[in-house]
Structure 1
Amino acid sequence: MATKKRKHRKGMEQDKEPETVFEDRISELPEAIIIHILSFLPTLNAVRTSLLSKRWRHMWTSVPAIDICDSRDIPCLRRRDEGNSGRKKFYNFVDMCLKHQYADTTISKFRLSVNYYGGSSRVDDWLRFLGKKTVQELELHVLPMKARYCLPHSIINFRSLTLIKLTGLALVNFAPTSLPSLKELCLSYIQMDDRVLNNLLLSCIFLETLQVHYCYGLVNPKVSSLSLESLDFKTGGMTCYCHTLEVEAINLHSFAFEQSGGSRSKKCDINLVHCSRIRNLSLSKAFLTDQWFKVLIPQLPHLESLKLKDCYGFQHIKIWNQNLRNFDFTLHSQWDSPEATIDAPNLAYFCYTGYSLLKISVNAPNLLDIYIEVTDHIRKTYDVAWYTCLIEFLSEFNSSKNVSVFCCNEKALIIPDELKKMHSSPLPDLKHMKVKTGSRPFRKAMLQKSLLWIAPSNLEKFPF
């Protein structure tokens, strides 16, 4: 809607504000553009536009996208004094939408998000609508409240599908089918076994992106694909642990793995030896051994980015890779004290976040930026061992151009004078060092003196 100001006639009060007149310019647009705009709205809002005028009455039926969500739509349908009748109104609304004969046979996107209380016949009836259409993107989020909805095999047999996102469903006894157009498959909180996952992958010969998050029933899944480029796999929780994960994808460029839950007794062995084209590797809370790093990392000649977050099982990891450019290492455990050796001639960025500093050896002549964050907010005192480790840790980055350090406690950076006499400055050639603390420092003079000893050539001004 546009607005304009209308002037008042002579004789009217001069101090009166001009009248605001609203102009409907949207209705002047071509119908194709209006339909395109409506395709970005939830279906409930698109249907409500039928009340605007006769021209708009049936326009929503030409929208090639359907987006229905009970948690969003029920509050809009229910009055304050109606109690739980809003859900019945929602069911009637969905029945009305899906029984209506849409003008086009192609549905670019179908999204249904509902809480499932049992009684599969209602959801089955809704999904039969898809059998009459050519669907490109399918999103079904049927969250189990009292039971889990078992998806009929026929629903994901459409050869036109390019994207499938499923959440909360059960996939049982799925046989291989044909999904020649499918590029992206996302499975979250799905009940299925290893065979179902394998049959799905056999059906998607051109699949590029696969996401598997916290699916029930997977024990020793194997992801095998010639076309897959990106894999995001999450396991853990109460009953979602996998014993092993084997990936055979020669064209895989990106792999991310996360195991949630606090128990380290449930380990998942990850096998990536047949994925030599990986460029981005991200592992969170994974069980990894020294041998795992020794064997795998040198076999990834295209590896550019490596992220390790709170992984365990290793004592001395060795990162040897000619092409690695970014390495992000996080270790919040108070009990683990591993060692690390990094030999990466093209490494440009290194980030370390941890409760304590680890013993590290770095051979990275092209290293530009370093970020170090010490999350030791619980620690009260710092001993000689801590400061010695700090000096040795920082000394590995003297040839870098930029070093940024964050410490929760300023005491962590105030090196005692007796230790300064025993050691040389760890960063004598560094020109750019930035330091931040968790709170405003109380010992400013002592902190500045210590930092000037750490990096005597520093040109940066400290913010305290």
Structure 2
Amino acid sequence: MVEPWQQSIIRVDDPTLPRPWQCLIHLPRGLLYFWNPKTRVRQYERPSAGPPYLYQFYREQNSYPKPPSTSIPINCPRHGEDMISELPDELILRILCFLPTISALLTTFLSKRWNKMWTFVRHLDFDTDRERFDYRSHFDSFVQFVFLRLSSSVDIEKFRLRYTTPPDDSNSGDVSAQLNDWVSAAVWRNVVELDLKIVEATEAFSGLPRSIFWCKTLKVLKLWIDQGIEIPEPPTTGCFPSLKIFHLTVTDPYESLGNILSYLPVLEDMSLPVLEDMSIHVQLTRDYKTYINAKVSTPELKTLKLSMERKKKHYHRTQEHDSFCVDAPKLEELEVIQIPLSNYILENPKSVVHASIAFKSRAEEDWSFLPDHAYQLLTGISNVKCLSLSNQPFEVSHLPVFGNLNQLRLVLRYRNTCEFLTALLHKTPNLEDLDIVLEDGTEGEKDDPELQWTPPELVPDCLSSNLKTISIRGFKGLQVESQVAEYMLLNGCHLNKMTIYTCISEEEESCKDLLTFKRAMTCQLEFREMQF
């Protein structure tokens, strides 16, 4: 139980204070003072530390070796000279913007010039895990205190809040009202960037504040929504009139996820990671169905990043019926990381220039609908110029021709998928830059050193006429790797450079063979050490 007097006074951790002094804030009057519980002395001047404590604190904070001395002259301030107060206000406020709000408030003791400076700062940063108050109510009071003491002329450029409600907090019922008050205060002060991460351990939180929907100055919105937190229904008109960047991370998606994605009229950059913890669905009944049906409808969207990852391998529902519909006629960059793949529908895919697609390997998730979804997605973006493809779980024969593709990054998890590489090269006639990444298989699926590769009879058009640079990363000197590299060196008529990133020495037999292998006169072969 928190006493009334404890609610009006909060303690701030300050390791630089000499023991047993404490830094306290009296919220009703907005005073910051120091208290010695042993001598029961209270004072407003910062207590000075004695030599023993200074030496101890110096050793704790500077345990690393001292740098060597230099002969560069340094203009040190004269004794008693206050150089901090000579800094312009704009520079001081800029410095305070990089500090957590509680640290910015503590700088009032550095110089008299800084006494009220923190009340003009435009960046507010609060974190319940970082600011270790004795009671959670003290953290709430501190946030309220900062909003009340800010200068009335200050607009907030960035409001960052990390809030975790402990399960045993008796005051958790006020979380929704407090969060609404704080966000509404930031909106009233014309906030430009809002960054909220809410981890709710109780059932007291009802949902996100609706005031963010109508904020006319909001340009950047970053939300981390934990399971059980409801996303309210957005208004049909006047929603997010200025929002340009939207990053939404959810841990428990459901059908209403699509509601907030359809009212973003001027959005240009969207990131949607879904980190679904399937442990919350362990008690699913046979008739229980929870599918994601989200539609991204934004006329100005240029960059879209979508990812779905499940934490549990064995669960009752699949993503066969999950659907992401994207209607973005100006979309240029698309990134999809899917484990496993949902149904993606691109209504205006021809504008996409850069695409990065990462699938789940078929060796681990052999679902019948997965290849169909992959074909549909890749067919929709067949006009891209730059493509990154990882862990392909399908046959390449049904893929479309990528006629405009000139840069390809291909991640091969197993060396026995080299046939996929040469087959894909037949689908990219204008390819100029190829980056191959050879990853290790999972435990128990090591690469066979005797694995052979049969070169195709027909040389891909891009290899004989357009391909100029090739990079191979993760080269181990296996026979199949050397065969692929030799095939490209032999048939790369216009190849200018091949770079091989490896952990083995150039003195190894496989590297020596490649260095002396026949290749185009203009082709340079270079070995580089792998950087981890």
| Same topology, TM > 0.5 | yes
Residues in 2 aligned to 1:196 and 1:463: alpha-carbon distance in whole angstroms: 46
One-letter amino acid of the structure 2 residue matched with residue 186 of structure 1:
H
Q: Give yes or no for contact 1:285–1:310 (8 Å, CA) kept in 2.
A: yes
Q: Once the two structures are superposed, what CA deviation does each residue of 1:29-52 show, in whole Å capped at 9, x if it has no partner? A: 332432233223211111011122
Counterpart for residue 265 of structure 2: 205
Residues in 1 aligned to 2:403 and 2:293: alpha-carbon distance in whole angstroms: 32
1:111 matched to 2:168:
no
Counterpart for residue 403 of structure 1: 470
Alignment of 1:148-163 (within 5 A): 149-160=205-216, 161-163=218-220
Counterpart for residue 437 of structure 1: 502
Alignment of 1:278-293 (within 5 A): 278-285=352-359, 287-289=370-372, 291-292=375-376
Q: Once the two structures are superposed, what CA deviation does each residue of 1:90-124 show, in whole Å capped at 9, x if it has no partner? A: 44433432343433252111110122236241453
Counterpart for residue 312 of structure 1: 393
Identity in percent: 22
Q: Once the two structures are superposed, what CA deviation does each residue of 1:352-405 show, in whole Å capped at 9, x if it has no partner? A: xxxxx654544767654443344468334224x32x349988997355444343
Q: Give yes or no for contact 2:344–2:377 (8 Å, CA) kept in 1.
A: no
1:47 to 102, 105, 109: 105
Deviation for aligned residue 1:141: 0.6
Residues in 2 aligned to 1:395 and 1:172: alpha-carbon distance in whole angstroms: 51
Q: Give yes or no for contact 1:188–1:215 (8 Å, CA) kept in 2.
A: yes
Alignment partner of 2:93: what SS? helix
Residues in 2 aligned to 1:311 and 1:249: alpha-carbon distance in whole angstroms: 26
Residues in 2 aligned to 1:365 and 1:207: alpha-carbon distance in whole angstroms: 35
Residues in 2 aligned to 1:372 and 1:197: alpha-carbon distance in whole angstroms: 36
Counterpart for residue 75 of structure 2: 4
**Shift in alpha-carbon separation, 1:40–1:375, aligned structure 2, 3 A:** closer
1:214 matched to 2:274:
yes
Counterpart for residue 34 of structure 2: none
Alignment of 1:139-288 (within 5 A): 139-146=195-202, 149-160=205-216, 161-169=218-226, 170-176=229-235, 178-189=239-250, 191=252, 193-198=254-259, 200-214=260-274, 219-238=292-311, 243-260=322-339, 267-285=341-359, 287-288=370-371
Residues in 2 aligned to 1:369 and 1:129: alpha-carbon distance in whole angstroms: 51
Counterpart for residue 184 of structure 2: 131
Two-structure CA RMSD over aligned residues (Å): 4.0
Deviation for aligned residue 1:223: 1.3
Q: Give yes or no for contact 1:215–1:235 (8 Å, CA) kept in 2.
A: yes
Query: Unaligned 5+ residue runs, structure 2?
Result: 1-72, 277-289, 313-317, 361-369
**So what's the TM-score if we normalise by structure 1?**
0.73
Deviation for aligned residue 1:307: 1.5
1:62 matched to 2:62:
no
Deviation for aligned residue 1:68: 0.8
Q: Give yes or no for contact 1:233–1:256 (8 Å, CA) kept in 2.
A: yes
One-letter amino acid of the structure 2 residue matched with residue 204 of structure 1:
L
Q: Give yes or no for contact 1:413–1:451 (8 Å, CA) kept in 2.
A: no
Deviation for aligned residue 1:231: 1.5
Alignment of 1:342-421 (within 5 A): 358-362=422-426, 367-375=431-439, 378-383=446-451, 385-386=452-453, 388-389=454-455, 397-399=463-465, 400-406=467-473, 408-412=475-479
One-letter amino acid of the structure 2 residue matched with residue 382 of structure 1:
E
Q: Once the two structures are superposed, what CA deviation does each residue of 1:4-56 show, in whole Å capped at 9, x if it has no partner? A: 358xxxxxxxxxxxxx7585433213324322332232111110111223332
One-letter amino acid of the structure 2 residue matched with residue 167 of structure 1:
W
Residues in 1 aligned to 2:275 and 2:528: alpha-carbon distance in whole angstroms: 48
Q: Give yes or no for contact 1:139–1:166 (8 Å, CA) kept in 2.
A: yes
One-letter amino acid of the structure 1 residue matched with residue 479 of structure 2:
A
Residues in 2 aligned to 1:459 and 1:148: alpha-carbon distance in whole angstroms: 65
1:100 to 149, 154, 162: 149
Q: Give yes or no for contact 1:392–1:426 (8 Å, CA) kept in 2.
A: no
1:37 to 95, 119, 124: 95
